[in-house]
Amino acid sequence: MDRIIEPILCNGCHACYAICPKRCIDMIQNEEGFLEPSIDKDKCIECNLCTTTCPVNNDLTIDDKNKLISIVAINKDDNIREKSSSGGVFTEIANYILDKNGCVYGAGFNNNFEVEHMKITDKSEIYKLQGSKYVQSKIGKIFLEVEKDLKKNKFVLFTGTPCQIEGLKSYLGKDYEKLYTQDIICHGVPSPKAWKKYIGEFKGNIKDISFRDKTFGWNKFSMKVESDNSTYLNTLDKDTFLQSFLKNFNLRNSCYNCRFKKLNRVSDITLADFWGIENIDKKYFDDKGTSLVILQSYKGQNLYQQIKNKFISKEINLEDAIKYNTAINKSVELNKKRNIFFKNIDRYKYDDLVQKSIKETNIEKIIKINQRIKGKIKRILG
């Protein structure tokens, strides 16, 4: 077999890697820094498990087609909310699973501040998985570990992007009563290579990183990088990594036409920032973080019932809930400068790379001027 799927469609979820019975698939970093499957043809037995397990090829059905329940939630514990990207809901879901001697899987930093999926079994480790990490996480052998824990009859919470959740479920091939899955409303996943370049330009040994520091508020969150001799803090409109993320320069190709962005999902719970809550119910807005919780399944509903006393919350109309969160079912727009960004990623410092990508070309300036002139003429002529 030559390839499992067209590279532009691959989301790097590792399902093919995990399912291969001959271990003939490796995940290799492409020139943009994203992991893609590479098949050893000498070992391949043409079983086609990789192609049928790939979540892009494999449309998963949703068993319990209950009505989606959307909730606005704020954790009553201010310390938890401060450490969280939004309202502090994930922490309580994780606590619930860990109280049952279960395991929690999610994205965290390794010792080099690369983002990878990892397993925790104790509440003292929850901090590793708290907070957004705007980099595509490496799954590695995590799907295999999840399956082992489920076969041991353990409670398992697996958190990740929608494509990672579908990848896991497609790999497992059946439902497990004690498996709980929680995804997010995902903007898109940035390149690990871009991230490595960005943090590699900081001086000193890095001690901690937050993509969503709330020093200047939840709405205007900041990138915070603490090293042994300094602290860097810059808001989302000034930090160049956050700008390359929000302007869609550094995202994976499949993110621009994501088939996993949809209302009804195979996950049990979807979490997100409740953007626009100040326009819907000001009681839930203090600029310290507010969560949107969408209960996708009966299992998700039952879990939330067990932890709802931890929150100030109420059920809210789904249309209002997603009004300012269009990323739930709409892919981000491909930035025309993306190719410039990746073409020059090895040539410039990260700040210069982003500024070069943002900067308008002379042709673009002329087009804008012409558009303004045409607009004025149209208004004059009526």
Residue 135 has, within 13 A of its CA and on its CB side, a CA count of: 29
Given a cut of 80, whether residue 375 has pLDDT beyond it is no
Residue 181's pLDDT band (boundaries 50, 70, 90)?
very high
- Assessment of whether the complete model's pTM goes beyond 0.85: yes
Given a cut of 50, whether residue 368 has pLDDT beyond it is no
Region 212-232 average pLDDT? 96
pLDDT digit string, tens, across residues 286-341: 999 999 999 999 999 999 999 999 999 999 999 999 999 999 999 999 999 999 99
Region 363-377 average pLDDT? 48
DSSP alpha helices (H): ranges in 152-271? 162-172, 192-200, 240-246
pLDDT digit string, tens, across residues 95-110: 999 999 999 999 999 9
Region 135-144 average pLDDT? 98
pLDDT digit string, tens, across residues 275-294: 999 999 999 999 999 999 99
Given a cut of 50, whether residue 367 has pLDDT beyond it is no
Given a cut of 80, whether residue 361 has pLDDT beyond it is no
Q: How far is CA 358 from CA 11, 195, 340, 342, in A?
A: 26, 18, 10, 13
Residue-wise burial string across 97-135, b where 16 or more C-beta atoms lie within 10 A, e elsewhere? bbeeebbbbbbbbeeebebbbbbbeeeeebebbbbbbbb
